[in-house]
Amino acid sequence: MLAERYPYYLANRPRQPNSDLPVVDKYSGEVVTRVALADAAAVEEAIASAVRAAEPMRKLPAHARQSVLEHCVRRFQERAEELAQVLCIEAGKPLRDARGEVTRLIETFKAAAEEAVRGGGEVMDLEVSPRAEGYRGFTRRVPVGPVSLITPFNFPLNLVAHKVAPAIAAGCPFILKPSDRTPVSAMLLAEVLAETALPEGAFSVITPSLADIGPLIEDERLKLLSFTGSEKVGWDLKARAGRKKVVLELGGNAACVVDREPGASLDVIADRVAHGAFFQSGQSCISVQRVLVHASHYEALKERLVTRAQALRAGNPRDEATTLGPMIDEPAARRLEGWIQSAVAKGARVLTGGGRKGALLEATVVEGVPADEPLCAEEAFGPVVLLQSFTSFTEALRTVNEGRYGLQAGLFTNDLSRAMRAWDELEVGGVVVGDVPSFRVDTMPYGGVKGSGLGREGVKYAIEDMTEPRLLVLRQRASSDD
């Protein structure tokens, strides 16, 4: 399925100077392929090429940018099963999850193709005072210029798509640095882009070492840095980015509130919570980590959730029957196993799961976790969900807000006033009513507050970040009758 080695892409073209980056099958732990590692000279060449491509990209007609994106959609559809198999191997995703991510990749590029020809602008009436009589304003959006994109391992295709597709639609040359744990998916995407008529230098997809990545963050020729990853790294990058625009999609420990009158059956709620907590082994920024349940439903929902966790089939993600694959590596699984053990030592109770074999961590349900334990206060980023009960809706909202993260929250209620109150009071980027916080459509504004980052993704919103309004002011003078 995988080639013996893969190039990186520099100024639209494949380069294979070495095979220094090993890629591991996340289930077997074996090296299955190798990718070329970019050095400092390649990073400099990528930036210089993007700068040279800025003017040709700005002048590329909207219909031409749309055609590039539509070509990608067709090719991704043709190569869908290949892409899913690659995700399965390099990211450890069960096949059903991998196929779902490929579907979202295609949807994201489709949405960007539609946005590419919509443009954006405004006609402004400037006659807001006597001194401005006779003046009108017009705006149009223009690309900011070369952009730097850094993506994590957990969605190697779709999180790349959320940066690359808007950059193309906006007319911005880009340099993408994918995770060195899952680089093959991004290289296959670059392979498809290389088939298009994008101007030379319009894109580079490179995998430099940490020692050589600095210019992608600090170089002033790059006008925007878009980073998805951990909280600690993200804020450090922002501090180093200088005057460029920065968009950060960081971590979360998403909460879901199940109200006294939840508006759905407990079976439906248990299904959705289990999916949100254990989908792709919980390695999602909006994975359900905390579930706050009204006391009247606590025991019944707990029983249902434990049953669903125990029913998951862990194992080789390439097996069609597998529903729980490995975490990204054994150190990540050991870290979360240690957090569970620490919580138990402080009085928490494991209702099911908690065991680990290599990178495979069992689907785990825990109750009674102290609020200051890492398992509750930090981002678990693994297949574990915490239960706690409440009696007061005010108390539940306060608990959701106590942490330093604020990405998304879920709420099951049939009380419209409570839904609106949650929307008003919860310190998060989005409130999902009638479902878990893990729900996301790729066109909606997605992003967090507090420690979860700044800015918004979602195709339209990312394009807005990658463009800026340019103003024309027109003074109309009185015309004669001649």
Cβ atoms within 10 Å, residue 473: 11
Q: Report, as residue numbers or ranges, the catalytic residues.
A: 249, 285
Nearest Cα neighbor of 388 from 313, 481, 476, 289 is 289
Instruction: Say how far apart CA 428 and CA 420 lie, in whole Å.
Output: 14
**Strand partners for 386:** 290, 366
For residue 10, the Cα-to-chain-centroid distance in whole angstroms is 24
For residue 337, the Cα-to-chain-centroid distance in whole angstroms is 25
Nearest Cα neighbor of 188 from 63, 81, 328, 60 is 81
Residue 301 · residue 293 · CB < 8 Å: yes
50 Cβ contact partners less than 8 Å away, ≥ 6 residues apart: 146, 173, 174, 175, 201, 202, 204, 221, 222
